[in-house]
Chain A
Amino acid sequence: QSALTQPASVSGSPGQSITISCTGTGSDVGKYDLVSWYQQHPGKAPKVVIYELTKRPSGVSNRFSGSKSGNTASLTISGLQAEDEADYHCCSYAGTDTWVFGGGTKVTVL
């Protein structure tokens, strides 16, 4: 059970769109649509922005969207804002009631 692979950092200017990738295998990301994305500001607990691949919790901006192609899931943030600067973590179900996270991606708003 290896960690999912995320880029260490992604940056963009205000108003731009950015996409964060999360690459797993055919046993986790590729097999299940149970991928979630978490936003984490320094010193805070993770906050879910996408769950079950494409669903947004109540109160989360529609600027956040999720998708998947093969073994890679993606989180897109459109209309980037200063408040989006944070760490983002992906998580996937890996079968038999087990889960796996990615290494996290630092998003910087230039």
Chain B
Amino acid sequence: EVQLVQSGPEMKKPGESLKISCKGSGYNFATYWIAWVRQMPGKGLEWMASFYPGDSDTRYSPSFQGHVTISGDKSTSTAYLQWSSLKASDTAMYYCARQSSPWNWGQGTLVAVSS
């Protein structure tokens, strides 16, 4: 069974750094793109970026380029989404998804940023 398990909720202060994770199992992690999707409170879904574990290729939405960094480690079947300096506006639920047909989604990681 394909599963994507994300790291737990985070409470951070503005200016702090953060790295959240998404661990895949039940398939060859290296051969599928992993997407990161943001959902701000009460809002729709937004594609942020995608990571290809096989060669570490990345794609970013223009809206998120420069604000976040995606990476991964195919040896541990884990993808990452990180911020170097969080803002209050980064408060949201973040989902990872395997870009298969159809996509398989993780359970989401809630990130709350407040002073």
Task: Using CB atoms and an 8 Å cutoff, list the residues of chain A in contact with chain B.
Answer: 1, 3, 6, 36, 38, 45-48, 51-52, 55, 57, 87, 89, 91, 96-104
Contact = CB atoms under 8 A, between A and B. Distances in A.
B26 interface: no
B107 A97 contact: no
B66 interface: no
Contacts of A51: 101-103
B37 to A, nearest CB: 8
Which size class do B's interface residues fall under?
Answer: 20 to 34
Interface in B61-93: 61-63
A96 B59 contact: yes
B21 interface: no
Interface of B: 33, 35, 37, 43-47, 50, 59, 61-63, 95, 101-103, 105-108
A52 B101 CA distance: 8
B101 A101 contact: no
B107 A48 contact: no
A1 B101 CA distance: 23
Given A1-B62, A45-B95, A57 B102 contact: yes
Contacts of A101: 37, 44-47
Contacts of A91: 45, 47
A102 B37 CA distance: 12
Return the 7 tightest CB-CB contacts between A and B, nearest first.
Answer: A104-B44, A51-B102, A99-B47, A48-B102, A103-B44, A101-B45, A97-B59
B59 A38 contact: no
Contact of A1 (B44, B61, B107): B61
